[in-house]
């Protein structure tokens, strides 16, 4: 993938989104339902789109919210609905639309006081805290966010009573009903005026921040961080964690400096990502260039994407690869959490680094490898049978010190603070821990590439069986596994993973573009990785015939 000449450089004015037009398009454009791209479509992280393209507009949000209200009624969910929104420009109007529909449907809604932004983990934590010890009258939630995506994007996801991302058995019901509602020109939507909704008795302000911050001491050793006076740098990247860091610093007496307080919806303060786009991806060294430039000023620093479900850890060595940090987090947590169940699982997605596999095997841990998507960790985290669940895309969560659930959605703030705890408790930062780990388990090289693919080919790839893979070797090594279902739970991976002793690749079709993604890793060298990537294309091509 070619690197844009402005990658890592400040965003030029011409790259900024026209916010008035973006918001106007949300209200004024009518989706064309003859175009599949303009229908409601729940992927792994809810419905996402762009107002100018007719894929994230007022009609979508009204219809989805109505569908959620109807689902709640069918499922017997009668408790409050916690709703939060991030700092993307489309999140505010979408929040307004959702409140109008929720109020008219009689749903008891709780939103952040002052209409301030709420991170994804804030909503998950609120749901779980409310539901703890209850058998009925359970709460659920909505998070309005397109995560790290560019400033013109909008997103809307539903978290049921378990507090995590809804599974397909729920999202399909909501998606299909929302599209049915839109096909009827939203005639089935119950709605009231915005001012009336805010004054409705069933719509009320709520403090998401205080309870979350106060509870952190039950999952992170905040006392150890405070005693160390560790110098910590934080870049909220214009996102929803902006209101959390000062209360955290004040309550626990931490030496935290927030390096950027901007919440400009154009995200004009960002440096451009690898492709020249503004993208608040805290796992990208290009998007994180501003914080990386300050690395020598702090003992440790971190950034979060707009809804704060992802983490980016910066040491004096630079930005850590998300896979590297996941491995060090697992190694540290399963050594320093005596209150966890002895048989607690390590949850990883099948495209996360295999250094986690080697670490788990060496530590005698129970590894659970699942398909892509944080929803696969929800059940284990809820029950306390999974100590840690993490994705290759810099998202993770883990149990409280006593082995009970913290959040069932990704929590970037939590993983940030864990990096600080790890540093002060062990005397080594996460990058130093990872360096020691590679001496023991090998130093993997990991890359993801995109390959052009037709819709027909993508459909076949998503339904492959192991028998369709005829190759016996990959990059000079015997193939030890051909997977189309995840070893941890037997669920379809929607693609293919091929494994050898010292490398692997996984191929998955994109849900939004005419490409498939190849994830590949080698424990030998870069030449071996290139061979894996090249032969992967051939293996996939043969399987698609």
Q: Using one digit for the tens of pLDDT, what is the confidence trace for 178-213?
A: 999 999 999 999 999 999 999 999 999 999 999 999
Query: Using CA atoms, how far apart are residues 360 and 251, in angstroms rounded to an integer?
Result: 35
Residue 30 has pLDDT above 70, yes or no: yes
The predicted-structure confidence for 95-134, as pLDDT tens digits, reads as follows: 999 999 999 999 999 999 999 999 999 999 999 999 999 9
Q: What pLDDT does 257 receive?
A: 98
Mean pLDDT of the chain: 96
Q: What pLDDT does 458 receive?
A: 87
Per the model's pLDDT, the better-predicted residue between 520 and 1 turns out to be 520
For 92-135, give the DSSP string.
HHHHHHHHHHHHHTT--EEEEGGG----HHHHHHHHHHHHTT-S
Q: Which of 45, 51, 147, 522 is catalytic?
A: 147
Q: What pLDDT does 45 receive?
A: 76
Q: How far is CA 319 from CA 282, 289, 322, 536, in A?
A: 9, 9, 9, 29
Distance of CA 539 to the CA centre of its chain: 30
The predicted-structure confidence for 353-395, as pLDDT tens digits, reads as follows: 999 999 999 999 999 999 999 999 999 999 999 999 999 989 9
- SS3 percent helix, strand, coil of the chain, rounded to 5, is 40, 20, 40
Model pTM score: 0.96
Q: What percent of the chain lies above the pLDDT cut of 90?
A: 92
Q: What pLDDT does 2 receive?
A: 78
Residue 512 has pLDDT above 70, yes or no: no
Residue 139 has pLDDT above 80, yes or no: yes
Q: What pLDDT does 346 receive?
A: 98
Burial 446-474 (b: 16+ CB within 10 A, else e): bbbeebebeeebbebbbebeeebbeeeeb
For 340-409, give the DSSP string.
S-TT-EEEEETTS-THHHHHHHHHT-EEEEE-SSGGGGHHHHHHT-EEEEEETTTEEEE--TTSS-S-SS
Query: Using CA atoms, how far apart are residues 368 and 54, in angstroms rounded to an integer?
Result: 39
The predicted-structure confidence for 244-291, as pLDDT tens digits, reads as follows: 999 999 999 999 999 999 999 999 999 999 999 999 999 999 999 999
SS (H, E, C) 166-185: CCHHHHHHHHHHHHHHHHCC
Contact 367, 356 (CB under 8 A): yes
The predicted-structure confidence for 489-501, as pLDDT tens digits, reads as follows: 999 999 999 999 9
Q: Which helix (H) or strand (E) holds 156?
A: strand 153-159
Contact 161, 124 (CB under 8 A): no
Q: How many residues does the chain have?
A: 545
Query: Using CA atoms, how far apart are residues 299 and 435, in angstroms rounded to an integer?
Result: 17
Per the model's pLDDT, the better-predicted residue between 464 and 109 turns out to be 109
Q: Kindly indicate the confidence band of residue 545, based on its pLDDT and cuts at 50, 70 and 90.
A: confident
Q: What pLDDT does 269 receive?
A: 97
Contact 341, 334 (CB under 8 A): no
The domains found in the chain, sorted by start residue, are 17-207 (3.40.120.10), 212-441 (3.40.120.10), 445-544 (3.30.310.50)
Burial 103-140 (b: 16+ CB within 10 A, else e): bbbebbbbbbeeebbbbbbbbbbbbbbbbeeeeeebbb
- Catalytic annotation present for 55: no
Q: How far is CA 186 from CA 176, 179, 189, 478, in A?
A: 13, 9, 5, 56
Residue 1 has pLDDT above 90, yes or no: no
């Amino acid at each position: 993938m070619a690197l844009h000449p402005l990658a890592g450089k400040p965003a030029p004015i011409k790259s900024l989104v026209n916010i008035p037009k973006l918001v106007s398009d949300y209200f004024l454009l009518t989706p064309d339902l003859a175009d599949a791209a303009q229908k409601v479509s729940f992927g792994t992280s809810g419905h996402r789109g762009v107002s100018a393209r007719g894929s994230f507009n007022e009609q979508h949000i009204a219809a989805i919210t109505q569908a959620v209200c109807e689902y709640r009624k069918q499922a017997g969910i009668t408790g409050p609905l916690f709703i939060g929104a991030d700092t993307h420009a489309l999140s505010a109007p979408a929040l307004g639309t959702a409140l109008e529909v929720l109020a008219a449907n009689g749903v008891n809604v709780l939103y952040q006081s002052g209409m301030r932004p709420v991170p994804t983990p804030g909503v998950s934590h609120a749901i779980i805290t409310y539901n703890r010890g209850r058998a009925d009258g359970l709460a659920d939630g909505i998070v309005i966010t397109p995560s790290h995506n560019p400033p013109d994007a909008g997103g809307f996801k539903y978290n049921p009573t378990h507090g995590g991302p809804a599974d397909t058995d729920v999202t399909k019901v909501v998606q299909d009903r929302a599209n049915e509602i839109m096909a009827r020109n939203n005639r089935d939507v119950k709605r009231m005026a915005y001012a009336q909704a805010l004054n409705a008795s069933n719509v009320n302000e709520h403090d998401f921040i205080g309870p979350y911050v106060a509870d952190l001491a039950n999952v992170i050793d905040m006392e150890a961080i405070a005693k160390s006076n560790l110098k910590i740098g934080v870049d909220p990247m214009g996102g929803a964690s902006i209101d959390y860091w000062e209360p955290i610093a004040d309550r626990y007496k931490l030496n935290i400096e927030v390096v950027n307080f901007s919440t400009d919806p154009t995200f004009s303060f960002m440096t451009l990502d690898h492709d020249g786009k503004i993208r608040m991806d805290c796992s990208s060294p290009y998007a994180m260039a501003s914080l990386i430039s300050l690395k020598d000023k702090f003992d440790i620093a971190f950034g979060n994407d707009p809804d704060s479900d992802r983490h980016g850890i910066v040491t004096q060595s630079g930005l850590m690869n998300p896979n590297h940090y996941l491995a060090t987090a697992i190694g540290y947590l399963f050594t320093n959490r005596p209150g966890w169940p002895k048989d607690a699982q390590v949850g990883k997605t099948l495209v996360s680094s295999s250094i986690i596999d080697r670490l788990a095997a060496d530590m005698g841990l129970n590894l659970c490898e699942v398909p892509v998507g944080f929803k696969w960790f929800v059940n284990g985290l809820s029950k306390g049978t999974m100590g840690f669940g993490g994705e290759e895309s810099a998202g993770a969560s883990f149990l409280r010190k006593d082995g009970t659930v913290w959040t069932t959605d990704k929590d970037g703030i939590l993983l940030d603070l864990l990096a600080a705890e790890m540093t002060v408790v062990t005397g080594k930062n996460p990058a130093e821990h990872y360096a020691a780990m590679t001496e023991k388990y090998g130093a993997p090289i990991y890359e993801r590439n995109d390959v052009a693919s037709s819709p027909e080919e993508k459909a076949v790839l998503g339904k492959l069986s192991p028998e369709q893979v005829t190759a016996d070797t990959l990059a000079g090594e015997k193939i030890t596994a051909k997977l189309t279902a995840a070893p941890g739970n037997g669920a379809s991976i929607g693609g293919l993973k091929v494994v050898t002793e010292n490398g692997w690749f996984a191929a998955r079709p994109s849900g939004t573009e005419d490409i498939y993604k190849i994830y590949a890793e080698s424990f030998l060298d870069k030449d071996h990785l290139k061979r894996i990537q090249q032969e992967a294309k051939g293996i996939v091509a043969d399987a698609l015939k």
